[in-house]
Amino acid sequence: MLHPKHSALSFPGKDHDEQFCCYFRQHWIRLWYHTMWWVLQMFSILVAGILSFAVLDLQETGSRRMIIAILGALFIFWNMEFLCSFYRYFLTVIIITDRKVHRIKKTLLAVDDHHSIDLWMLQDIVKRQHGVIQNMLKFGTLILEAQESQVRLHFTPRIQEHYALLMHLREKARNIAIQTQRSELLGEK
Amino acid sequence: MPFSQFAAAVTVLVIVAEFTLWRLFRRRVLPICFPHETDSSPLRFFSLTHLRLVAVVHTIFVIAVVLFPASLLW
C-alpha cells in the first residue's frame, strides 16, 4: 500500500514535508443504491411505454408523439441524474500521507470540502464493521478521534488493511513528533 | 414536428448535457487524480481515460435508446 516512488505527489492542502502514501475512494457499494434506483426508473419508463403503446394502443398522432417526448425527456433526465451520482462517487477521496489523513469531498458544483487530521494527534482509531454485507465485502467505517475533532471515514474499502496501515503510520508519526520536540528542546538548551 | 427535428433536438440536448457534466467533473477531479498504483480502492478500473470512454458510450447509449423506439412509433 505504500508507494515510495510516488511520495512526492502533490494535491491541494498538502504540506511541503508530507509524503504521499496512498489514496482510496469509498467502497463500490456506495454506487449500488444509485444503480438500483436508476434500474427502477428505467423499468418504470419501459412499463409506461408498454402500457401506452401496446396496451392502450394510442392511434392519434399528437398524443402518441407527446407520450414519446415525455418518456424520452424522463429517460434523458434520469440518465443524467445517474451520471451525476456516478461522477460524485469519484469526487470523494481519502488521501493518506505519512503525517495526515485528508478527506476530500466534492460535488460537481456546490461542495468542495477538505478535512485533514494529524496522525500523531490521533488518540484512537476505531474500526466499525456491522452486519453481514460489511463483513462479506470487507468495508466499514473508520473513526479517527483526536482531542477536539473526529473524522469518520464511511464505506472504507479493505478496511482491515487501511486500519493496520493507519495504526502503523500513527506510530511512525508519533516517533517523528517526539524526536522533533526533543531536538527543539536540546536546541533551546 | 417531423421526426428529423425531434432526433436533432434530442441529439443536441444529450450531447450538450453530457459535455457539460464531463467538463464540470474533469475540472473537479483533476487536482485529485493520482497514479493508478497508488489507488487502494476496490474499483481500480476507472482511470480518467476510462471515465471519458464511459461518458462517450453513455452518450451514444442515451441517444440510441431514445431515438430507436421513437423512430418506430413516430
Percent residues over pLDDT 70 in chain B = 97
Contact A90 B65 (CB under 8 A): no
Residue with cell 471519458: B52
Question: Least CA distance to A65: which residue of chain B?
Answer: B74
Closest C-alpha among A21, A17, A110, A95 to residue B31: A95
Min mean pLDDT across A6-20, A21-35, A58-72 is at A6-20
Task: Give the confidence band of A4 by pLDDT, cuts at 50, 70, 90.
Answer: low
Query: Is pLDDT of B55 > 70?
Result: yes
pLDDT in the model for residue A3: 64
* B62–chain A nearest CA distance, Å: 7
Query: Is pLDDT of A7 > 80?
Result: no
Of B1, B21, B70, the CB nearest to A72: B70
Number of H helices, E strands in chain B: 2, 0
ipTM of the complex: 0.89
Query: Is pLDDT of A112 > 80?
Result: yes
* Prediction pTM value: 0.85
Residue A185 or A89, more confident: A89
pLDDT in the model for residue A2: 62
Four-residue CA torsion sign, A117, A120, A121, A123:
positive
Task: Give the confidence band of B49 by pLDDT, cuts at 50, 70, 90.
Answer: confident
Residue A100 touches partner B, C-beta closer than 8 Å: no
Q: Chain A residues with CB inside 8 Å of B62's CB? A: 75-76, 79
CA distance from start to end of chain A: 41
pLDDT in the model for residue A159: 92
B5-29 confidence digits (pLDDT tens): 989 999 999 999 999 999 999 999 9
Mutation test of the interface with chain A: which of B15, B21, B73, B74, choosing the one with the most A Cβ atoms within 10 A?
A: B73
Contact B66 A158 (CB under 8 A): no
Task: Give the confidence band of B44 by pLDDT, cuts at 50, 70, 90.
Answer: confident
Residues 6 or more apart whose Cβ sits within 8 Å of residue A137 = A27, A29
pLDDT in the model for residue A189: 63
Q: Which residues of A122-148 are buried (b: 16+ CB within 10 A; e: fewer)?
A: beebebebeeeebeebebbbbebbeee
Residue A163 touches partner B, C-beta closer than 8 Å: no
Min mean pLDDT across A54-63, A152-161, A172-181, B27-36 is at A54-63
CB atoms within 10 A of CB A5: 9
Query: Is pLDDT of A136 > 70?
Result: yes
